[in-house]
Each structure stands twice: as structure tokens, then as C-alpha cells.
A and B are shown apart, each in its own frame.
Chain A
Amino acid sequence: MSPVTATPYVGMRIPDIVTEITTAQLFLFSAATWNPHRIHYDKPYAQSEQFEDVVVQSHLHACLLSQAALAPFGPGATIRSISWQNRAPAYPGDTLVVSGEVTEVGEADGRVLATIALLEHRSGNIVCVRATATVAVPSMSTAGEGA
């Protein structure tokens, strides 16, 4: 049975996830996703598009958001849905901080469903991403995989 490490409740604060972004991580993420878009690895090109440096991938931001949403609830928790909007770019050397709060709790298929409002800031307190995720958390009496 999946361990449950926290039970969501409205107003619950999600522990911050802090990530120091490096060019190595951007390279690996582009490689793992076969993403040849030059703004992610070619600094002169990125600057020609008015970015300060190579740009953190939109999907990498979202990965950090999903990790923050799932972390409090143990390995049996799953993302049911996630929606995000990119607001500002982030660059290598930035510290990205994801924070969140549970805004709604329900139940479906024997699982607790937690809706979480998420925010990602970069250095300078600039909001990079706003998001909402719904996480399915196994109740004490359920086990097994499920979306």
C-alpha cells in the first residue's frame, strides 16, 4: 500500500521547493525531451530574441510545479490535472522557488482530491509561473496505481 505522508486540507501550505538553475540542467532537459529550440542552449541566439541568457524551458518550470504539488503526499499521489501560464522567463543562475496552498479538497474514486494554487518566483521576487494542480491522494484504505 502506498504510504501517505500528509492529508490535504484547505489552507494547507505546500513546502517550498527551491531549485538553483544551471546550464547543465537546461542542456539535459533539452536532450531528454529532444527539444532543439535554440533559445535554450545558444546564448547569442537567445539574446537576439531579447532574452538575457538561455531560457528555462516552459516544461521544466511545470516539472518543478508538479514536484512541489506531489511532494507532501507521498509516492502514491498522482497529478490528475495541471494548468500553468508562463509569466516571465528564468535563466541559469536564477533560484526558482515554488510555493503553494491547497484551495479545495474533495473525493473521487476512493481518493482525496486536492486543488492546489501554485506560484513560482525567481530571483528578484519575479513571478515566472502561475498554476493550478489537482492531486489525487490515496486514502488510508486505498492502494494501487491510478491517475
Chain B
Amino acid sequence: MTTDVTSAYDGLRGAIGAQGQPLRGALDIVSIERFARASGEIDEIYYSDDAARAAGYSARPAPPLMLSSVQEWGGGPAVDALRPDGSGVGKESWLPFGGLQIMGGGQSLDVHAPLLAGTTFTAVPTLEDVTLKSGGSGELVMITITTRYMADDGQPLLTCTETLIGR
């Protein structure tokens, strides 16, 4: 294990159990349509109120992956505050990655309620675990984060447990 990886691993291990600042967000129709376009959705329920109503929704739904895919729900940090690899926004900005290069390893999502336009919510990320794994290119730091999204009326919306891979 290199010193950088060791240092980052130790720093992250020390933060297990810590929570990031609660993140505020809102689902609006423009954001939903842009996400749907960018992800290649062809279902009309994401683009048409009539189609959404015909499918039984009271408001325009968001694609199920939208909440956990969006990295930043506010304005985010200034460009020069980003890490060298460009990361450092939103739900992982508070984590002490050190010099690790980070990539997504996968997620597990539980959807508790429909994700509808007009919903405002809070997301709270928690660092659940940090482990080491040997990969083909050396040691990998496996970082597990659980983020709970809750609507302002108290309705749980989504629980996202994701794995980030640091190297």
C-alpha cells in the first residue's frame, strides 16, 4: 500500500459513522426533463403532464435514478475548490479522500415513495464503512456511503447505499 493510499484509508476509517451536512433539494419539471433526456428516457410520463396523469401520477414523476444520480442540488462549490480529479460536490464533498482517485462502484436503492415534481427534500449522507481490497492495479479503498432522502412532510423517499472505489 502506498503512503497516499494508507493515509487516505486511515483518514476515512477515522470518519466512519460521520454524517455530512444535510443537503436540501427540490424536484422541478425542468430538472426532471433534462435528467430524462440525458439518460435517454423515452417514456412520455417524464415529459408530459397528460401522460403522467394517465399513468396515475398526481404530478410529473422523476426517473427512479434521478435522486441518487444528481451529485449537487445547490449551487455547489467554486470551480477552484474542486479536487484535482474534479470531484468534490454535494454528498461526498465532506469526505477526507486525501489524494485518492474516486470512481463509482455501484449502488443499492430502495424507493419508498414516488418521486414527484414539486417535492422538496433533505438528503443526509453517512459514511458507513471503509475497507481495503486488492485490485489488479494495487490496493483499492472501498468506501460505503448511505444517503437517506426524506421529503419535507416526513415521507421517506429513497435510501441509497453506494460504493465508491478509491485508488
Considering residues A37, A42, A138, which has the most beta carbons from chain B within 10 angstroms of its beta carbon?
A37
A19, A59, A74: residue with the most chain B Cβ atoms closer than 10 Å: A59
Are B85 and A82 interface neighbours, CB within 8 A?
no
Q: Which of A64, A75, A81, A144 contacts B40 (CB under 8 A)?
A: A64
Residues of B within 8 A of A (CB): 31, 34-35, 37-45, 51, 54-58, 61, 63-65, 68-73, 76, 79, 82, 85-90, 101-114, 116, 137, 163
Interface centre among B70, B79, B107 (most CB of A within 10 A): B107
Q: Does A146 contact B (CB under 8 A)?
A: yes
Contacts of A64 in B (CB 8 A): 39-40
Q: Which of A63, A81, A138 contacts B69 (CB 8 A)?
A: A63
Query: Is the CB of A145 closer than 8 A to any CB of chain B?
Result: yes
Chain B: CB-nearest residue to A136: B111
Question: Contact: B113 with A147, CB < 8 Å?
Answer: yes
Is A28 interfacial (CB-CB < 8 Å)?
Answer: yes
A14 within 8 A of B: no
The distance in angstroms between the C-alpha atoms of A70 and B38, with both chains bound, is 18
B68 x A80 contact (CB < 8 A)? no
- B140: shortest Cβ distance to chain A, in Å? 13
Known: A32-B35, A60-B39, A63-B40. 9 other contacts (CB 8 A): A28-B37, A29-B39, A34-B70, A38-B85, A39-B85, A67-B42, A81-B108, A83-B107, A83-B108
Contact B103 A19 (CB under 8 A): no
Q: Report how far A70 CA is from B43 CA in the complex, Å.
A: 10
Of all chain B residues, which has the CB nearest A51?
Answer: B103
Q: Contact between A33 and B64 (Cβ–Cβ < 8 Å)?
A: no
User: Are A147 and B111 in contact (CB-based, < 8 A)?
Assistant: yes
Cα separation A129 to B84 with both chains bound (whole Å): 27
Q: Which of B73, B76, B108, B114 contacts A145 (CB 8 A)?
A: B114
Contact A33 B85 (CB under 8 A): no
Q: Which of chain B's residues have a CB closer than 8 A to the CB of A8?
A: none
In the assembly, what is the distance between CA of A56 and CA of B134, in Å?
24
Q: Determine whether the beta carbon of B39 is less than 8 Å from that of A36.
A: no
CB contacts (< 8 Å) of A147 on chain B: these are 111-114
Chain A: which residue is nearest B106 at the CB level?
A85
Alpha-carbon distance between A141 and B73 when the two chains are bound, in angstroms: 38
Residue of B whose beta carbon sits closest to that of A84: B106
- In chain B, what residue has the closest Cβ to A63? B39
Whether, in the assembled complex, A140 has its beta carbon less than 8 Å from a beta carbon of chain B, the answer is no
Q: Is A125 an interface residue (CB 8 A)?
A: no
